[in-house]
Amino acid sequence: MANLSLFESIRGALAPVANALNEEGASAYQRTPEGALALYAATGCLNATFYATDEAQLATVLMLAAQVSPGFVARTAVYARETMHIKDMPALLLATLSTRDPDLFTAAFPRVVTNGRMLRNVVQILRSGRVGRKSLGSRPKRLVQQWIAHASTDALINAAIGQQPSLADVIRMVHPKPADAEREALYAWIVGRPYREEALPPKLRAFEAFKRDPSGELPDLPFQYYTSLPLGRQHWTTLARKASWQTLRMGLNTFARNGVWDDAGVVAEIAARLRDPEAISGARVFPYQLLMAFQAAAVSMPVAITEALQDAMEIATRRVPTIAGNVAVAVDVSGSMSSPVTGFRRGSTSAARCVDVAALVAATLLRTNPQARVLPFDTEVRDVQLNPRDSVMTQARQLAALCGGGTSVSAPIASLNRDRAMVDLVVLVSDNESWRDTRGGATQTMREWGRLKARCPQARLVCIDLQPCATSQTVEREDVLHVGGFNDAVFELLAGQAAGNASPARWVERIASIEL
């Protein structure tokens, strides 16, 4: 008799044969160039990741951009900036268009370059020589001049924070023509040339006066302008009250060290700001940023502040849809998921790991779908008991604590098959680098999915990828959706897939339909 372990009858549709190898050298499916570019744009950080150096990631993005139409590159850049709120990747994609399609570069420029940080990013990339040029060129130079000329005083003051290049460097490159005496003085102040103080914008005049005599009122300028000045507790309290929501989140421990939380009234005021729904929405905060702020909070942090961060998390994730039917959420907790979600960069590596973000996806889905089955996995499904009534913060930390081990992306689906579980939607959150379940032919994940579909023909699978990768363990089709990143856009696509609206909600098609 033939070997039954090799020749058992396959239930369900025949799984497609793998046509690529992943970073671990295991069987996988090659993404389309459009799908791969979309994933790199949504999750790529141009920093070293667990499986790729920053140089390898840059080379892959440039290769993929060359393989797709300039129009798709432009739309992907706009999507990455406007929907995913990413900085470096849309700047890179925009820069590639400067030599490939100047008209599309012009059309996409104002939608990608939305602030001074993005302007400096684009200029840096254009002058690096990595996209085919080492100078700005006439059209990019004109667009940069126009951005500076039309930017508000506050926008330029904010843009003057940061280096390599600084806004001063950019102004020296493009020589914007000042429209009036105030703008002339502002440019000179930024560049470090002599200026007439009386011609400066009012808040800069006040700042120069404050530097000479810090006993006066603190001018309304960004937090970073004051970090090198000798400030007292009252000054720090004023900064906390005036700080933007994101600056406030990032500066909680700094404010603690400078006595801001000694005043109970200030604590109550700041806690109210942290949990304000409109402020949270306007800040475009990523849930993992809230998790990191919560975990980094000093032991001495007032309870009211840490509770406000937990409330902010509930608010930031409340748009997660309620999904009808039986839902299973598979969370990759393997060793590679311990890498920083935005990659390694000397001096600025994020404390947020891929596993933290994956755990947040599961915890937020469990918040609105308390009957969902959560399956943390590495080479097998790990045992965990979650209380749906716990906060998103608590559940995410409980799941992330399981991190370690090899990777078998098929494990959670195999577990559902062993239990003969009836499911309508499986959400798989992973970096997609499966290697312990590989063998010839189709990937084991697609084999297991075929078995599940034979039992639950209505079931759908959403694969949420957290790292840039040119391959996948599943083939995208009507019942399988690929999407990258973690914000409201991901959950909107997930809701459409759960409702059976697969065709209108396809990720790449949504990007391709963006109007320029």
Residue 363 lies in a domain: yes
Of all residues in the chain, the percent with pLDDT exceeding 90 is 52
- What is the pLDDT, as a whole number, of residue 6? 46
Indicate which CATH number applies to the domain containing 420: 3.40.50.410
The domain tally of the chain equals 3
Q: What share of the chain is helix, strand, coil (3-state, %, to 5)?
A: 50, 10, 40
Q: Which run of H or E residues covers position 427?
A: strand 425-430
SS3 136: coil
Residue pLDDT, tens place only, 392-408: 888 888 888 898 888 99
Cβ 476 vs Cβ 482: under 8 Å: yes
Q: 485 near 85, Cβ under 8 Å?
A: no
Q: What is the mean pLDDT of residues 93-117?
A: 96
Is the separation of the CB atoms in 98 and 139 below 8 Å? yes
> Phi and psi of 459, rounded to 5°?
-65, 150
**Does pLDDT of 469 surpass 90?**
no
Hey, what are 209's tokens?
A: 């006066």
pLDDT (0 to 100) of residue 150: 95
pLDDT at 352 over 80: no
The SS3 call for residue 20 is: strand
Question: 68: helix, coil or strand?
Answer: coil
384 confidence band (pLDDT: 50, 70, 90): confident
The maximal CA–CA distance of the chain, rounded, in angstroms, is: 96
> Do 236 and 260 form a contact (C-beta atoms < 8 A)?
yes
pLDDT of residue 7: 46
The domain containing residue 113 runs over which residues?
35-221
pLDDT at 284: 79
Asked if residue 464 lies in contact with residue 39, where contact means CB atoms within 8 angstroms, the answer is: no
Q: Are residues 388 and 250 both part of a single domain?
A: no
pLDDT level of residue 268 (50, 70, 90 thresholds) = very high
How far apart CA 53 and CA 228 sit, in angstroms, is 35
Q: What is 362-409 written as a DSSP string? A: HHHHHHH-TTPEEEEESSSBPP----TTS-HHHHHHHHHTT--S---T
d(CA 28, CA 24): 10
On whether both 307 and 340 belong to a single domain, the answer is no
Residues 388 and 260 in one domain: no
Report the chain's mean pLDDT, rounded to a whole number. 87
Quote the CA–CA distance of 3 and 417 in Å, as a whole number: 22
Task: Tell me whether residue 16 is in a domain.
Answer: no
Say if CB 105 and CB 136 are below 8 A apart: no
Distance CA 271, CA 269 (A): 6
Overall average pLDDT of the 50-56 stretch: 69
**270-279, 311-320, 324-333, 451-460 — which is least confidently predicted?**
311-320
The residue type of 193 is: R
Please report whether residue 26 resides in a domain.
no
Nearest to 341 by CA among 400, 282, 391: 400
Q: Would 131 be classed as within a structural domain?
A: yes
At 342, is the pLDDT very low, low, confident or very high (cuts 50, 70, 90)?
A: low
**pLDDT band at 321; cut points 50, 70, 90:** confident
Query: Is residue 331 domain-shared with residue 453, that is, in the same domain?
Result: yes
Cis preceding linkage at 321, omega within 30: no
The predicted model scores a pTM of 0.85
Q: Is the domain of 292 the same as that of 394?
A: no
Average pLDDT over residues 280-293: 83
pLDDT at 293: 87
Mark whether 56 and 195 lie in a shared domain.
Answer: yes
